[in-house]
Amino acid sequence: MIQFHVFFNLSKSYNPVVLSEFEIIRHYFSQASPTAELGVGDDAAIIAIPLGKELVVSTDTLVSGQHFLADTDPLKLGHKSLAVNLSDMAAMGATPRWAMLAITLPKQLIKENSQWIGEFAKGFYTLAQKYHVSLIGGDTTSGPLNICVQIMGEIDQGKALLRSNAQPNDDIWISGCLGDAALVLAHQQQRIKLQPLEVEQCLPALLTPTPRVELGQQLINYANSAIDISDGLLADLGHILDCSDVGAIISFNAVACSGVLQNYLPHPDVINCLLAGGDDYELCFTASTIYRLEIERLSSELSIPLTRIGKTTAIKGLTVLDSDGSELMQENKGYEHFYT
Ligand code: ADP
Ligand code: MG
């Protein structure tokens, strides 16, 4: 593609400080990709899908100033840009295999911080290696900082976990704790004041989320539907309900949260972080009640808390019950309150 703001300098006086697009690719994004037929370096990559498998594909973009602060640690940003994509694979029950990275970098950033790309690449590759994911291609341009990752995974044909297959009377489960990422973001934006130790405890949730890849892969044996919580529990559970044509009743008290978040309940903004904050990258899934023991066993095997927060219903609508059984929230009656 023609670029109007290229890195490389066509004049003879080569500036060693500003790396060319090709140098960036060669130095930072060209690690071997043994799981691809052809990786970085040609016009396109080639991958082979084993017989009986389906290709599962997703993409997510992180925009500077929108999804992260411009001065975010590049090591952590590299991690997060892949983690949010791995989380989509987890939600489908797929095994992530290949990634593409389209990155737009401000010239100024490269000039002022020569470590930036190396740190970003390190964060990205470290997480990729953990899941045996190969970076097989991408695009490198200059402009406002923007990171777009495409992830590809595989799954046995017909086995993917969909949003559309929840059944009435399923148990609704969540993994991990919700709300910490939104809580610490609220602190950074001075909407809530946390103690320094609390900030330290919540920051990893925002900056280096752990995608629940192993959990998703196991859940294909038990769950009827799944989604990863990126936009907040209510919104994302709402997608399952809409797609599956069912409703749900959940208990506010059952929604697992950290001790830090617990300290600030029942502050309405903190309830909001927990139920509608987003950036959790935990899984919300539904499963038949017959699988309770298996799912609890899975929880201890994987050392991931899995909590039952309610049930799906044949009658549509989403109700959140308070500890005394009263309606804390009912869709269409104050639902918007939980959306920032
Ligand atoms: P083209 O001009 O044909 O689009 P490029 O020069 O953009 O090719 O890319 C050359 C090779 O480097 C391609 O294989 C491409 O997929 C890969 N590539 C470019 N940018 C990245 C990146 N940020 N991460 C990984 N691979 C990249
Ligand atoms: Mg290109």
**Of 71, 80, 26, residue with least CA distance to 206:** 80
CATH of domain 21-156: 3.30.1330.10
Q: Is residue 131 a contact partner of residue 168, using CB atoms and an 8 Å limit? A: no
Domain 163-321 bears CATH identifier 3.40.50.2000: no
Q: pLDDT band at residue 173, thresholds of 50, 70 and 90?
A: very high
Percentage of residues in the chain having pLDDT higher than 70: 91
Distance 143 CA to ligand 2 centre (A): 15
- Going by CA atoms, what residue is nearest to atom 19 of ligand 1? 139
Q: pLDDT tens, 200-237?
A: 999 999 999 999 999 999 999 999 999 999 999 999 99
Q: pLDDT tens, 22-40?
A: 899 999 999 999 899 999 9
Decide if pLDDT at 6 tops 50: no
Interatomic CA distance for residues 102 and 146, integer angstroms: 8
Tokens of 275: 């139920």
Percentage of residues in the chain having pLDDT higher than 90: 86
Q: Is residue 239 a contact partner of residue 281, using CB atoms and an 8 Å limit? A: no
pLDDT score of 16:
47
pLDDT score of 339:
44
Q: What is the average pLDDT score of the chain?
A: 92
Decide if pLDDT at 145 tops 60: yes
Distance 78 CA to ligand 2 centre (A): 20
Helix, strand, coil percent content, the chain, rounded in steps of 5? 35, 25, 35
Residue type (1 letter), 340: T
Relative to the alpha carbon of 78, which ligand is closest?
A: 1
φ, ψ for residue 316, nearest 5 deg = -75, 165
If phi over 0 gives left and psi between -120 and 50 gives alpha, with beta otherwise, what is residue 62? beta
Domain boundaries, the chain: 21-156, 163-321
- Going by CA atoms, what residue is nearest to atom 27 of ligand 1? 138
Q: pLDDT tens, 107-131?
A: 999 889 989 999 999 999 999 999 9
Tokens of 243: 């797609």
Return the SS3 of 296: helix
Interatomic CA distance for residues 327 and 317, integer angstroms: 13
- Tell me: cis bond preceding 266? Omega within 30 of 0 counts: yes
Q: pLDDT band at residue 324, thresholds of 50, 70 and 90?
A: confident
User: Region 305-325: what's the mean pLDDT?
Assistant: 95
Decide if pLDDT at 163 tops 80: yes
Distance 41 CA to ligand 1 centre (A): 6
- Going by CA atoms, what residue is nearest to atom 20 of ligand 1? 139
